[in-house]
Amino acid sequence: MAVQIKDLLRSSFRCIGQLRPGFGYAPNELTDGLFVMNAMLDSWAADDLNAPSTLTATYTLGTAKQTYTVGSGGDFNGPRPTRIITAKYVVMTNPAQPLYEDLECINDEQFLGIRLPLTASTIPQRLYYNTTYPLGTVTLWPVPTNSSDKVVLCSEQPLGGGITDENATFDVPPGYLDAVRYQLAVRLAMEWDKPLKDGVLMLATEALAKIQRLNAPTPQMDVDPGVLPVRRGVADFNYRTGD
């Protein structure tokens, strides 16, 4: 749903009794309110349960090397991921029929455990994402050798921040408007030392819980095909029947 920032701020201010219906806020209240709102959205960006969407983007290597920066103006010029969920390596030896290979996303410990980090190969197998700032850093192993190959990154995208204009449009997916409006009211109440209106804290908690339930990953159970019977070429298990 799309609303103007000034309408969202007025609603949050009314939740703490700072404004009467139909009245506006003072310039200093706008400045402070925008700061609190941006700080809240920045905090939410660090929590994957608050990410409203995922972005799948394809980047051409351009230069065959081990490490690439990702973000606005980086080697991979696009939004900086807060976390990379999955990744693919696209072999472009035959551009008419590119080969997509899985890249295993590894953590710091796994990356440091690689004994020959400078090994080169036509098809990298692992991707290590370091959340450096302002540009993230993607490291491939083995080191790719074909500059025309591509990398596909599926990453989490947080709500936008850095809002400075009260007339700007705040466009968010279903469920997020209430979460932002009431959670912002809770923070404004602390800033202004004001009591929250009855029910605001409950609404803030419920609204945030709704979007976090929506964004929570669904566990996928996987077992060795030799353990379970194979039907239709797939080893499966029905937890409701035990079959």
Nearest to 166 by CA among 48, 66, 26: 26
The residue with tokens 């400045």 is: 31
Looking at the predicted structure, is the pLDDT value of residue 231 above 60?
no
Query: Which residues are within 8 A (CB) of 84 and not within 5 positions of it... i.e. 6 or more apart?
Result: 105, 127, 129, 138, 153, 154, 155
Q: Please state, in angstroms and rounded to a whole number, the distance separating the CA atoms of residues 91 and 144.
A: 10
Reduced to 3 states (helix: H, G, I; strand: E, B; else coil), residue 202 is: helix
The sign of the dihedral angle between the CA atoms of 221, 225, 228, 230 is positive
Tell me the whole-structure pTM to 2 decimals: 0.70
Reported as a single tens digit per residue, the pLDDT across 119-129 is: 999 999 999 99
Q: Quick one: what percent of the chain has pLDDT higher than 90?
A: 60
Q: Where are the domains of the chain?
A: 2-49+171-215, 53-157
Query: In the structure encoding, which two tokens stand for residue 239, read together?
Result: 């937890």
The larger pLDDT score, comparing residue 229 to residue 188, is at 188
